[in-house]
Each structure stands twice: as C-alpha cells, then as structure tokens.
Amino acid sequence: MTATGSEIEAFIEHYGKKGMHWGIHTEKDFYRTTTDSRRAQELKKRPLRALTNKQLQTVNNRMNLETQFSKMNPSKTRKGLKVAGEILAVSGTIGGLFAIAESRHGALAIKYGEKVVRKALSGSGRKVISVVSGGQA
C-alpha cells in the first residue's frame, strides 16, 4: 500500500511559527499571567478608597502569597548575595583578629597565653588544667 502525495500532506501538520526553534519559548507564550494576578494588578491601580472590602482583601491576599513565595523560593542572585555576605562577615572577623594580634595589646595577650599554656603543660600546672576542664585532669 503506497501513500499518495495528498494523503501525506493531509497527515503532516505543522504546529508553531515559521522559523521557530525547538525548546525556545517566547515570553508571551511561556509566562502567561493568571486571571487572579491580572485582577489584582488592575485593582492595585485604583485609588484605595475606591476599593470594596472584598477587592482590598483580594489584593492583600495576592500580595501576601507573592511575598511568601519569593521568601520560600529565593532566586540564584539572592542565594549568591547571602553566601557573599557570609564570606565577608568571616573575612571581617579574621581581619579584626589579625589586627588585634598585630597590636601592642594583642602581642601582650599572646605572650600571656603562651605563659599560661607552658605552665599548664609543666608539672605544676596540673591544678590549672583541672580547674579549666572541670576537675578532670
């Protein structure tokens, strides 16, 4: 059984736009706004006193849902900013500790700490270790 040209043309159908590539969506097609979103946007444009209680509640509910969603699903940028902030906080702490260690008072504190450690490691310092460790030498 052979197919004729008209049968093949009737079978082959093309969906999409001419020149459209597979997997590429236009923003208009891919991100459609819902009726709830559009309604809330339209109501936001009105003056506050022109809204009924139900309309105002609709706008507030939509805004609360959008805020909750954005908090629960942070963007990659927000995640990156959080990590960068943590790195800067740690580096600031390290920088502060380094500055203290390099200062006159920091050098004195380090000398004192070394003296305490040497004393604790010697035979006469066992009392210090037991006090610091809670009585277990």
Indicate the SS3 state at residue 31: coil
pTM of the predicted model as reported, rounded to 2 decimal places: 0.38
Residue 137: per-residue pLDDT = 47
Tokens of 64: 């609360």
Residue 120 CA to residue 126 CA, distance in Å, equals 6
Residue 71: per-residue pLDDT = 86
Helices 35-45 and 53-72, axial angle in degrees (round to 10): 120
Q: Let me know: does 129 contact 137? Beta carbons within 8 Å.
A: yes
Tokens of 45: 């444009």
Residue 17: per-residue pLDDT = 67
Per-residue pLDDT of the chain (137 residues; tens, 9 = 90+): 566 666 655 665 656 666 666 666 665 655 667 888 888 888 888 888 888 999 999 999 999 999 999 888 888 888 888 889 999 888 888 888 888 888 888 888 888 888 888 887 776 555 555 555 555 54
Residue 128: per-residue pLDDT = 54
